[in-house]
Amino acid sequence: MKAIGIDIGTTTISGVIVDAESRAVVLAKTIENGSFIKTEHEWERIQDAGLIVEKAKGLLDGLLAESGGACAIGLTGQMHGILYVDEKGKCISPLYTWQDGRGNLPGPGGRSLVEEIYEKYQVKTASGYGLVTHFYNMRNYRGFGTDGKKEESALISGQRNVSGKAASLCTIADYFGMTLTGRRKPLIHISMADSLGFFDGEKGTFRKDAITAAGIFMEILPEVTGRLEVLGEYRGIPVTAALGDSQASFLGSVGMEEGAFLVNMGTGGQISAISDSYCIAPGIEARPYLNGKYLLTGVSLCGGRAYAILESFFRSYLSAACVEQKEEQYGVMEKLAEKGFAGKNRMKVVTAFRGTRVNPGLRGSISGIDEDNFTPEAMVCGVLEGMARELFELYGQIHAKMGLEVKRLVASGNGLRKNRVLREIFSQMFEAELTLAPYEEEAAYGAAVGGILS
């Protein structure tokens, strides 16, 4: 029998067919997400949830046709972001993604909402976390829980109206599970619930004290499960509650191996390792995993996007110089990276172009420039080193807090798979041999394994 895993990412949607007995990938497919909604606000990052579900369902149906059926369907997808559903389980809003910046906007007294939440309710969170987004919407848009009623509705920015009363909220992968199984109320795995904020990962429950103090109605929260629970069936096939993409990627790349650190470079960057104990450190979260264990996880907000920003910089120069260029510049940049990596006189590039979880106001910088290294190759290499350095510094926090050391370094994500120089930089920086995860679509593969385990 075969199992299918679907991963709804920020930029792509991926699916795999996995042999349930051997756990080998039989077929993998990836399509573009392409659902971002243009907005007048620079800080706003929203996507068309209906379009995402349509694309994901098309991908799933195609895989089912290829496989001739399946014993399980496992789901995963981007964490933190939310959408709203009505009492019938229908989505009535866009997807507010994990990249959304409304939680960092200055409010009264110049404080951001994230800062206010920490000062008033002692909750450490970040912009893009679902309940931070919800708190902002509830506070700033007329009709959003301000009349004292339990049902909540919203007027969101850019005149994009929520088309009904919001009965609950959930992530995009959870909503996809609802559409497949016909559920009206979201049931979400603890790994997704934890990503929304206002959650006690150690106890496995939402922080009712802080949530009610903030004026958020508990009724809008989804039901939470700590197990790989079956939501229902799609075409007679069990569908499992969605895992957070971080946990699914780890399951698909490392499994339950302790002492292995997983580094991922995609739209964002991430480093994680298994721990038996719950702990937090600056920039580090203890995310619920499987079998009562935690993933100690650090995230770089820009991650692989830093390299894309540099590529855009080079293309804009070519355009200004009236040089006709139809192709992306990554091939040229790869050659420049090789040359820059071979040199010893390097510039230092800080790639925190969108800040950090700890310091949202931080921005990137370039230092150590002289007349010899102010070159395109040194800049390309410097950006790659900056991307790796962000994760290495987060590893330092995990090591200092828990004493965990790298026994094995595993890489996932296209940013590392497709860039040999970046892999070499990681290996040198961590002083460890770096191996690639066995399958390219790590999160989708982990989702399929989760479906098998359920």
Over residues 178-190, the pLDDT tens digits come to 999 999 999 999 9
pLDDT of residue 426: 97
| Rounded Cα–Cα distance for residues 148 and 219 (Å) | 13
- Could you tell me where in the chain the CATH 3.30.420.40 domains are found? 2-246+443-453, 256-436
- What are the beta bridge partners of residue 91? 85
CB 79 within 8 A of CB 287: no
Average pLDDT, the chain: 91
Burial of 280 (0-12, 13-18, 19+ CB in 10 A): middle
State residue 159's pLDDT score.
29
pLDDT(341) > 50: yes
Q: Give the pLDDT score at 301.
A: 87
DSSP state of 321: T
> Distance (Å, rounded) from C-alpha 13 to C-alpha 254?
21
CATH topology of domain 256-436: Nucleotidyltransferase; domain 5 (3.30.420)
Residue 163 pLDDT = 60
The pTM score is: 0.84
3-class DSSP state for residue 308? helix
DSSP string spanning 181-192?
HT-SS-EEEHHH
121-125, 328-332, 380-384 — most confident range: 380-384
Return d(Cα 237, Cα 230) in angstroms, integer.
10
What's the pLDDT score for residue 144? 46
Contacts of 238 (CB under 8 A, 6+ apart): 71, 72, 73, 230, 232, 451, 454
pLDDT of residue 326: 73
pLDDT 10s digits, 48-106: 999 999 999 999 999 999 999 999 999 999 999 999 999 999 999 999 999 999 999 99
Q: Is the predicted pLDDT of residue 419 greater than 90, yes or no?
A: yes
Residue predicted with more confidence, 198 or 323: 198
Closest CA to 245 of 177, 306, 173: 173
Tokens of 424: 């070499």
User: How sure is the predictor about 423, in pLDDT bands with cuts at 50, 70 and 90?
Assistant: very high
pLDDT of residue 268: 83
* Dist CA 387 CA 300 (whole Å): 8
pLDDT recorded at residue 316: 92
- For residue 401, pLDDT over 60 is answered with yes
User: Cα–Cα distance between 50 and 60 in angstroms, integer?
Assistant: 15
- Residue 357 has a pLDDT of 80
CB 125 within 8 A of CB 114: yes
**Helix pair 172-181, 49-67: axis angle to 10 deg:** 60
So what's the pLDDT on residue 414? 85
Task: Kindly report the CATH number that applies to the domain delimited by 2-246+443-453.
Answer: 3.30.420.40
Between 31-35, 165-169, 195-199, the lowest mean confidence (pLDDT) is in 165-169
Using alpha carbons, select from 214, 29, 43 the residue that is nearest to residue 138.
Answer: 214
Share of the chain above pLDDT 90, in %: 79
The Cα 396–Cα 402 span in angstroms is: 10
Q: What is the rounded CA–CA span in Å between residue 337 and residue 321?
A: 23
For every residue of 41-70, which 3-state class applies, written as one string?
CCCCCEECHHHHHHHHHHHHHHHHHHHCCC
pLDDT at 146: 33
- CA–CA gap between residue 444 and residue 144 (Å, rounded): 35
Q: pLDDT per residue over 130-178, tens digit each?
A: 999 999 988 877 444 333 343 334 333 322 345 668 899 999 999 999 9
